[in-house]
Structures are given as C-alpha cells and as structure tokens.
Structure 1
Amino acid sequence: MSAGTTADTLVIGGGLVGAAVAWGLARQGEKVILIDEGDVALRASRGNFGLVWVQSKGSGMHDYARWTRRSADLWPDFAGQLAEDSGVSPDYHKPGGLHFCLSEEEMDEVRALNDRMHNVNGALGYGAEMLDRKQLDELMPGLGPDVVGGSYGKHDGHANPLLLLRGLHAALARRGGRYASDARAETIEPDGTGYRVTTPKDVFRGAKVVLAAGHGNSALAPQLDLDIPLRPEKGQILVTERAAPLLTMPTHLLRQTDEGTIMMGDSHEDTGYSTRSGSPVMSQIARNAIRCFPALANLRLVRSWAAVRILTPDGAPIYQQSDAHPGVFSLNCHSGVTLAGAHALALAPMIAAGALAPEMAAFSAGRFHGQTH
C-alpha cells in the first residue's frame, strides 16, 4: 500500500464538519486523509445560510447550548488561525444577531425561550435580550410595520460558508493533509491495529476513522456496530442582487453578505432527501422577508437553492466513539458553520488523543436508548 493511502486518521466526509475536524487534527500534528465522495454528495455545507448562531440553540439540551456558546467564543480565534493557514478569510463578523417577531404571540414565545435559556446558562451566558419596536428601530432602521419586536443575541454573527469550506480544505493541504476526491467510502473494516476504508479507486488505512459524511453515516456507521439515528430536513434559500448596505447585522430570516447580496431563508420541510426548490415555500420566505424589510420588494432575486440538513431525533449533535472499535468516531450534526470553531479547536484535539472528553458524554447516541455511552 502506498504512503499516500495511509494516515494516522482517516476522515470520511469533506463538508464543513469533516473538513474542520481534519484541519484540527492536522494542527495537532496528525497525518490526515480527508476522504470525500465529491460534488455528488448531499452537500449541506454548500447550502448553509452562514449564521454563527447561539440564540435558540439547545433549548431542550443544556449541554448543546453550552457547546454552541463555546464554539461561538472560539470563532474569532478560529477565523484568524484559518486565514493564517489558508490565506482565505471566511468573512466572519460578530455584530450580534436579531430574531424578529411578527406577532405578540411570537414575542411571548421567544421571551419564554430566553427565560428558559437564562435559567440554564445565566443571562450573561446566553446573552440574548428582548427588544421592543423602538429599540429595534435604533439597531435596524427600515423595518416594516409587522415587526412588533424581537430578540438580540450579542454572541451571534455570520460568515461565508463557501469561503469557510474553501479555507478549511486549503488549510488542511498546507498542514500536509491529503484530500481524496471522488472517493465514496464503500466499506470500513478493522485491519490489524487500525482500519481499512475501501473506495472505488483506492484502499486507505488509518489508525483512527472519523465518520463525518452527513447522511452517508447512516450506511457507514452500522459497519462499525454504531447505531446513529438521523433524519433529513430540507431548507431553501433565496438570494437577491447586490444592494447598498441595508442590514446592520444578521437575523434569523435574512442576512447581507460582504458582496451586498441579501440571503433569505428559515424554512423547514419534511421531503426526504429532495433538494428541489419549491415555489410555495420560496414565496413564503420572500413574503416574510418583505414584511420585515419592505425595501426588499424592489430588489431582483438572482438565485435560489435547497439543501438537506442532517438532524438527529432531538436536533442536538451526536458525537459518538465506538466501544467495540477503538479509534472510531461518528460526528453528526447540523449547524456546521456555527460549530466549526468547536469542531476544529476543541473536538479535534480529543480525537487526536484517542477519546472524547467526559463532558461530551451527553452527546452520545446512547441518549436515545437510555444510555450515556
């Protein structure tokens, strides 16, 4: 077997989760091969909205709330180190973020959510506060009359997911990692003291294996005696032509990119693995955006797309290490942009050391089976 097909760790899946962990492992001095199916994969990373978002994350799982906040706190250093390694800036900004409420009922729901999160993490830990319409106008001029108030999260921000993915791949290469493209992992088998991953063109071997293939993990995990329950959820995004600066910060419904385009989203559809855009949902996204900012009605839409989120039954990540196969890890989550900082700078060092830290036990798939490991 050639030296180009052996590594300390084989990471399967070249999207944001796999690439962030692969770069993080390379930063730890590991020899890494990132094995990727290529553009035929259900690439959630390229359909990502780009938020680095703390608000609302982990309302049903307190460890997830704390993990999200940890990642948001790591993002400034993460972005700087990534740009230094790759020469690519992910266009990260942290001005805070807004969740608009279009009814008093929604205001009550968001207020109740914030209260619950404050009870868990403290008001400073969660960092979100309710704003009335007057306070919103001071932060974000140009709002429509349907916006009654909202929530401001000081830890929120946004980045360019395409530049982030490009930067992670470039940074991995500069750290000596290999990217194996058009390499769909078909079988994973124990091989001596490590593991053998077979693709249509090559056979790779590594002491450790990280499954970060999104929905592809559903087929790969059982080969290593792991039960990882996942479900797909489609989200759609609309993009306008470039416009003069309109948004002072990102929101849960729309954000303005560095290039001036405005992205609109926040849809949730149970349509299996379909990535086809649908007019009814697109129309609803546009209507909600215009309700928030009437000036958007004057802009042309230039692009739209759909992508499939990777969701667990409770929406929180599954980070699982195998008891039966030491050195095997399965990473499963959405919010690949938000969690990129933690994946590269906190999770990767654990994997390099060969075991997840005790603090990660809550993220085990065992929680769906009454176990913690």
Structure 2
Amino acid sequence: MAKDYDIAVVGGGVLGSAIAFGLARDGQRVVVLDEGDIAKRASRGNFALVWVQSKGLGMPAYTGWTIRSTQSWPQLEAELKERTGLDVCLEQTGGFNICLSEREMEARRAMMRQIHAQEGVAKYEVALLDRSEVEKMLPGIGQDVVGGSFCPLDGHVNALRLFHAFHLANHRLGIDYRPNHRVGGIDYDSGLFRIHTSRGEIEAGKIVLAAGNANAHLAPMVGLSAPMQFNCRGQIVVTERLQRFMRYPIGTLRQTDEGTVMIGDSYEDSTDDGGMNFAINSVMLDRAQRTFPFLANVNIIRSWSCLRVMTQDGFPIYDQSETCPGAFVACCHSGVTLAAVHAYVLAPMIARGSLDAQQTQVFSAQRFHVQKAA
C-alpha cells in the first residue's frame, strides 16, 4: 500500500525535532506535524539546562539515561553547527544547586545519598561544597549561601537557538515540516497510518507521538498510553544584560550567553499557561538576590509562564504499540537534556521498527498499570 512518508512525527517542539533529526540522519522520509504557534509550547519556555544531578531518585535507570545524553551533547552541538552554521552556545563546565540554609544543605546531602544508594544506579561525580568552596567558583555570593552541590557534567544552552538549529538542520535533511497541522485522529490498517489533520490527511508507515501533554489523548488512538500531568506550570523571570559574572549555571539561576540572567524553577498547580503569579515570582526573586545580592539593583525586562510537559511520575515514557505496529510514543520533561539521546539512540531504534527492551523497557507506561503487592 502506498504511503506518503516512512515516518510521521507528531509534535514540532524540541522532543519531536530531536527525534525527527535522528530519523532523517538514518535515511528515513520524515514529516513533522505541528500545531504551529497556537500550541502551548514548553519548548519556547524552558530553562535550557543540560542537567544530571538530582535526576533519577525513584528510577535509577533515568540517571544513566541522562548521563548518556549529557555525554553525547558535545557531538550534537558540533553536528548542528556543521549542518547549520548555528552555535547553540553549549557550556558544559559543571553546575550548582545552591543551599541557603543548613536545613537545605542536609536535604541536599540526603538526596545525593539516596540517589547513589539505589541498586543499579549509574555512578557520577557530584561534590558537596561548603560556603568557602562555592565562593571560589561563584564570586559575589551572599551571606545566606551556606554551600551547595556541584556536578561537572551539568551545563546549559541557548534554548531558542537550539530550537532554530533543529528546524534548520531538519529542513536541510529533507524533512517536511507541516505547521498548523493539528492531529485530530489516527487510523491504522495493514501497516499504514492515516493521520487526520486540520489541513488534510497524511499517510505514513510509522508514527511517533511526541506532542507533549497532547500525547495523553493521541496515544490511545494507536493502542498506547501516556499518563500526563496537566496542571503543572512554571514561571521564568529574565533580567537586563549584565557583564559576565557566572562561570557556572545554578539549577534555579543562570546567566545566558547574551548576558541576561534567567531565574526560574517554580512549580504550581495551574492549567493556565498565560497568566503570572507574582507571589511565586517574588519567592524566586528573593532566592536570586540572596544568592547574588547585587541582583537586587538589576532591572527585570520580561517574564513568562508555560505548562510543563510532565508524566504522572515525572520520568520519561517510551513505548511501542502491539496493536498498531509501527506506532511509538515519547514523553519527557527534560527535552533539552535528553535531546542527544533522543537523536542518537531512540530515533535509530524507531527507524529499525522496534525499541530495544534492555534500554527502554523501564520507561514503558506499563509501570503505571502494574498492580502493587498488598
């Protein structure tokens, strides 16, 4: 039966773009179906960390998956630059989580112990530093800083340049990008997927659902499941450009390549991606100026909020359909951190037509349906 494409990727954010990039590198004829600018884009509102520390408590395999991606990020940065001429400004010199009280410091110690005590967890270097050690690496910190954790694998990128680089690279690889193609239905028959969009029907031999929270209603159309949270919002505040003062990013505070300071890491129970909660902003700004007191005199130039793409337990979901062979689903919160492993590991599996159970079974949505022992 004739088909328009080898693989259709539903979702044009960082997750879908990274998977499409990997598929096209593998010689697949790919179409990306994207809602366009009407979509609630987490990819345009993320904090853009490439981050390992704190990942994997409760699922040790996620720690290894994250490490694998961060180690492949220099390859991804170099390839995107070679293909597009765009520098995504990867800085991977290590990163901090800062503690503003002894209580926070003890909680950080306990978390690191718990993560590294898990059976089968991938080991990585993380140092717990006192105030004097932090100050040597982050001059100008405030008196409230008592210490923090430092991981040399951590870093950050320019999120919008990454998004641009993926789209340009995908165009040059021959991917057909279809904006304003909201998917409303999917039919499967004898190895062919008919995808009904707001601008017509598309046929493909395989389909990858990488549409963020929309995966929750798309996945059942192809015999899959994507349990998502729909009420998790984050906010970010951005300052004016400053002379470079941070050599390392912090989990809640980073200086971009352009000189602005991004302040974030809020979680709130909300389904509104357009409003702002100034009480939450004030808490974030208070922590920022306690970390670097001089920020109290810096101008705020913009802020925004967006809904986080988050599965019900916070860990990724990767699955393939038994009832509709050739259908795959991918959900994750850390689309930037995991971009390299999605392009170089997950996409080739999809191109071959089957996920490697040894690498991905732990991330199956079946974990939500396993009955707990009494």
- Scaled by the length of structure 1, what TM-score is found? 0.96
Q: Select the residue among 206, 209, 225 that pairs with 2:207.
A: 209
Structure 1 residues 113-156: Cα deviation after superposition (integer angstroms, max 9, x where no partner): 11223334899832211000010011100001111000001100
Q: How far, CA to CA, are the matches of 1:365 and 1:92 in structure 2?
A: 32
Q: How far, CA to CA, are the matches of 2:104 and 2:148 in structure 1?
A: 9
What SS class does the counterpart of residue 186 from structure 1 fall into? strand
Change (3 A) 1:150 1:263: same
Q: Displacement, 1:252?
A: 0.7
Q: How far, CA to CA, are the matches of 2:272 and 2:335 in structure 1?
A: 18
Q: Displacement, 1:222?
A: 1.5
**2:61–2:122 CA contact under 8 A, matched in 1:** no
* Aligned twin of 1:370: 370
Structure 1 residues 29-53: Cα deviation after superposition (integer angstroms, max 9, x where no partner): 1010010000111100000101000
What SS class does the counterpart of residue 123 from structure 2 fall into? helix
Q: How far, CA to CA, are the matches of 2:119 and 2:137 in structure 1?
A: 25
* Aligned twin of 2:304: 305
Q: How far, CA to CA, are the matches of 2:168 and 2:189 in structure 1?
A: 30
Q: Aligned AA for 1:56?
A: S
Q: Displacement, 1:241?
A: 0.3
Gaps of 5+ in 2: none
1:295 aligns with 2:281: no
Q: Aligned AA for 2:299?
A: R
**2:61–2:120 CA contact under 8 A, matched in 1:** no
* Aligned twin of 2:136: 138
Residue correspondence of structure 1 range 310-321 to structure 2 within 5 A: 310-321=309-320
Residue correspondence of structure 1 range 33-44 to structure 2 within 5 A: 33-44=31-42
Identity of aligned residues (%): 46
Q: How far, CA to CA, are the matches of 2:364 and 2:222 in structure 1?
A: 15
What SS class does the counterpart of residue 125 from structure 1 fall into? coil
Q: Displacement, 1:202?
A: 2.1
1:225 aligns with 2:223: yes
**1:8–1:32 CA contact under 8 A, matched in 2:** yes
Q: How far, CA to CA, are the matches of 1:121 and 1:168 in structure 2?
A: 36
Report runs of 4+ in structure 1 exceeding 3 Å deviation: 120-124
**1:66–1:121 CA contact under 8 A, matched in 2:** no
Q: How far, CA to CA, are the matches of 2:259 and 2:122 in structure 1?
A: 32
**2:11–2:209 CA contact under 8 A, matched in 1:** yes
* Aligned twin of 1:118: 116
What SS class does the counterpart of residue 204 from structure 1 fall into? strand
Q: Identify which range, 359-368 or 307-316, moves more after superposition.
A: 307-316
Q: How far, CA to CA, are the matches of 1:122 and 1:303 in structure 2?
A: 43
Q: How far, CA to CA, are the matches of 2:312 and 2:116 in structure 1?
A: 24
Change (3 A) 1:117 1:361: same
Q: Displacement, 1:223?
A: 1.1
Q: How far, CA to CA, are the matches of 2:247 and 2:294 in structure 1?
A: 15
Q: How far, CA to CA, are the matches of 1:248 and 1:174 in structure 2?
A: 34
Q: Displacement, 1:312?
A: 1.3
Q: How far, CA to CA, are the matches of 1:207 and 1:121 in structure 2?
A: 39
* Aligned twin of 2:77: 79
Gaps of 5+ in 1: none
* Aligned twin of 1:157: 155
Q: Aligned AA for 1:361?
A: Q
Q: Identify which range, 185-194 or 93-102, moves more after superposition.
A: 185-194
1:352 aligns with 2:346: no
Residue correspondence of structure 1 range 67-106 to structure 2 within 5 A: 67-106=65-104
Structure 1 residues 225-251: Cα deviation after superposition (integer angstroms, max 9, x where no partner): 222110031000000000001111100
* Aligned twin of 1:266: 265
* Aligned twin of 1:278: 277
Indicate the RMSD between aligned Cα atoms, in angstroms.
1.7
1:187 aligns with 2:165: no
What SS class does the counterpart of residue 91 from structure 1 fall into? coil
Q: How far, CA to CA, are the matches of 2:348 and 2:118 in structure 1?
A: 27
1:327 aligns with 2:306: no
Q: How far, CA to CA, are the matches of 1:229 and 1:118 in structure 2?
A: 27
**1:234–1:275 CA contact under 8 A, matched in 2:** no
Q: Identify which range, 91-100 or 78-87, moves more after superposition.
A: 78-87
What SS class does the counterpart of residue 62 from structure 2 fall into? helix
Q: How far, CA to CA, are the matches of 2:367 and 2:343 in structure 1?
A: 24
Q: How far, CA to CA, are the matches of 2:108 and 2:280 in structure 1?
A: 23
* Aligned twin of 2:338: 339
- Scaled by the length of structure 2, what TM-score is found? 0.96
Q: Aligned AA for 1:33?
A: V
What SS class does the counterpart of residue 99 from structure 1 fall into? strand
What SS class does the counterpart of residue 276 from structure 1 fall into? coil
Q: Aligned AA for 2:370?
A: G
Change (3 A) 1:188 1:124: closer
